[in-house]
């Protein structure tokens, strides 16, 4: 059995990534920790708890940071909807998280399963940075940290060069990227290039007919408009689900490289930019396995299997 710890700012793509992990029989999700990002913390908690209920799973789910380390919170409700789940009227209120502090849970879980925890981050890295700052000794104990964040090659989605998760809390991302953890970066380019769901495929997945299949597609109701008008993608893309697919099955990543990646702590267009040193001009030691290509076929097969 593999032991996962998932940190998320649960909105419409995070929810599908949670379904993929929760429905995988080879995975034990030890805990889910919430961070503010796509939506305010409390909404993210409700969205995660609703998704768990739909999957018929009971996993300890904890509240984490309600804002970035230093900066004010900027949500992505313009992308995912006010409730983060497509504003389709789901009953996303009234559920109770597990009492406890997410930062301590991250630390304690990693220490309880030394070299076994596979950490998957689907939102801003605030919680992970706080855990590393409080207990830096956990960094070498994490088996693998798969990060949905940054850009390996190409353009950003919140500035011309920056991806939302890193942009929201660049100071946290820098702490994590400099921590020495074994990390794999699945940038927004992987989602844009290999995880776009056009209308035809959306209908094909919905036609699987299960509650999870319909849920996974229906909650993309708002993001599909953002994708077609702002990012000009053929349909909506699923960044967290393809990052989760890579965490679940590393063979989904078909091209990777161990490189030095630096997070830009700045204001303006380069805020949160992940600068990838492709040819080691900095002569700095690699800190990240960067994913550059992925198998769309494997990703879609895993997505469909999860919602059957």
Q: Which C-beta is closer to Ca ion: that of 110 or that of 122?
A: 122
Min separation Cβ 6 and ligand RIB, Å: 12
Q: Per the structure block, which two tokens stand in for 168?
A: 């929201």
What's 210's DSSP letter? Answer: S
Q: Residue 75 or residue 295: which is nearer to Ca ion going by CB?
A: 75
Per-residue mark of binding to Ca ion, 29-48 (x: CB under 5 A): --------------------
Judged by CB under 5 A, the stretch of 12-20, 128-136, 220-228, 293-301 that binds Ca ion is 12-20
Q: Tokens 């469909």 identify what position? A: 304
Cα 307 to Cα 77: distance, rounded to the nearest angstrom: 25
The yes or no reply on residue 122 touching Ca ion (CB under 5 A) is yes
Q: Which is nearer to Ca ion, 97 or 123 (CB)?
A: 123
CB of 294 to ligand RIB, least distance (A): 15
Rounded to whole angstroms, how far apart are CA atoms 119 and 144? 6
* Residue with smaller CB distance to ligand RIB, 27 or 147: 147
Among residues 132, 179, 157, which one has the least CA distance to residue 272? 157
Determine if 17 is a binding residue for Ca ion (CB under 5 A): no
The Cα–Cα gap between 95 and 46 comes to 6
Which residues make up the interface to ligand RIB (CB under 6 A)? Answer: 9, 11, 13-14, 37-38, 76, 122-123, 148, 157, 163-165, 188, 239-240
The answer to the question of residue 14 lying near Ca ion (CB under 5 A) is yes
Neighbours of 13 (CB within 10 A): 30
Select from Ca ion, ligand RIB, none the partner in contact with residue 157, using the beta carbon and a kind-dependent cut-off of 5 to 8 Å: ligand RIB
DSSP run (H or E) holding 186: strand 183-186
Give the number of other Cβ atoms within 10 Å of residue 200's Cβ.
Answer: 9
């Amino acid at each position: 059995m593999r032991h996962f710890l998932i940190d998320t700012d649960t909105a419409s793509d995070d929810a599908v990534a949670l379904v993929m992990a929760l429905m995988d029989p080879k995975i034990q999700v030890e805990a889910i920790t919430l961070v503010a990002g796509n939506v305010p913390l409390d909404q993210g908690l409700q969205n995660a708890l609703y998704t768990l209920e739909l999957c018929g799973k009971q996993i300890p789910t904890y509240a984490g940071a309600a804002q970035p380390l230093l900066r004010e919170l900027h949500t992505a409700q313009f992308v995912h909807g006010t409730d983060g789940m497509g504003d389709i009227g789901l009953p996303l209120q009234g559920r109770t998280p597990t009492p406890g502090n997410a930062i301590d849970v991250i630390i304690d879980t990693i220490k309880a399963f030394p070299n076994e925890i596979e950490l998957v981050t689907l939102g801003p890295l605030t919680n992970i940075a706080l855990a590393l700052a409080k207990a830096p000794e956990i960094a070498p104990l994490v088996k693998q940290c798969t990060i949905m964040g940054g850009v390996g090659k190409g353009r950003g989605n919140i500035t011309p060069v920056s991806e939302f998760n890193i942009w929201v809390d660049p100071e946290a991302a820098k702490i994590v990227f400099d921590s020495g953890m074994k990390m794999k970066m699945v940038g927004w380019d992987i989602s844009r290039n290999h995880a776009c769901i056009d209308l035809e495929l959306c209908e094909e997945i919905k036609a699987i007919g299960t509650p999870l299949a319909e849920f996974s597609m229906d909650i993309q109701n708002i993001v599909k408009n953002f994708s077609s008008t702002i990012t000009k993608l053929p349909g909506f893309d699923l960044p967290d689900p393809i990052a989760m697919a890579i965490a679940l099955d590393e063979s989904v990543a078909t091209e990777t490289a161990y490189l030095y990646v630096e997070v830009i702590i700045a204001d303006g267009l380069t805020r949160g930019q992940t600068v990838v040193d492709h040819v080691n001009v900095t002569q700095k030691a690699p800190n990240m396995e960067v994913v550059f290509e992925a198998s769309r076929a494997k990703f879609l097969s895993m997505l469909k299997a999860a919602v059957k």
